Structure 1
Amino acid sequence: MPDVIGGNAGRAYEQMSSEMDMAFKDASGQGRSVDDPAVWKICNSQPGPNQQITDYPVVFDVLKVSENCEDTTPE
């Protein structure tokens, strides 16, 4: 799994969607729908950076680009 933490979710989707099944999850816990990944940033991923992908979909925990990833705790 590439290290995409802190990156733009839309860019990650464009670069990796043809290679893998992925899902975006609102890291705030508010259950917001991620309709446009380009306005979200990646705070965490399952599997984590530099880990082998063994299960799909790959899940990206994301927040709006104006929000702070440090305010979230990975599950």
Structure 2
Amino acid sequence: MPDVTGGNALRAQEQMAGTEVRFEDVTGKDREVVDPQAWRVCDSSPGANRRITSYPVTLLVAPTAEPCPEGAPG
């Protein structure tokens, strides 16, 4: 799994072309990610530099206008 933490969610998805990716609102507000360009990657599952063993890969994201929650690396 590439380290996409802190980057733009759309670019992260593009970087992993061919990999099934889903987005999850890490803020707990359960918002749907309609435009990944407007979201930042706070964390991922599996984590950075880990082997992908199951799909989809989950990118834990927050809107770019909001900070990542405390404890999230991004």
Fold match by TM threshold 0.5 = yes
Identity across aligned pairs (percent)? 47
**Contact 1:26/1:63 (<8 A) preserved:** yes
Partner residue, 1:41: 40
Partner residue, 1:2: 2
Partner residue, 2:62: 63
**Contact 1:28/1:72 (<8 A) preserved:** no
**Aligned counterparts of 2:31 and 2:51: Cα–Cα separation in 1:** 28
Using the size of structure 2 for normalisation, the TM-score is 0.89
**Aligned counterparts of 2:6 and 2:31: Cα–Cα separation in 1:** 19
Higher helix share: 1
Give the root-mean-square deviation of aligned CA atoms.
1.2
- Paired amino acid for 2:40: K
SS at match of 2:22: strand
- Paired amino acid for 2:58: V
- Paired amino acid for 1:8: N
Moved over 6 A (4+): none
Using the size of structure 1 for normalisation, the TM-score is 0.88
Q: Please, which runs of 5 or more residues in structure 2 have no aligned partner?
A: none
**Aligned counterparts of 2:38 and 2:47: Cα–Cα separation in 1:** 22
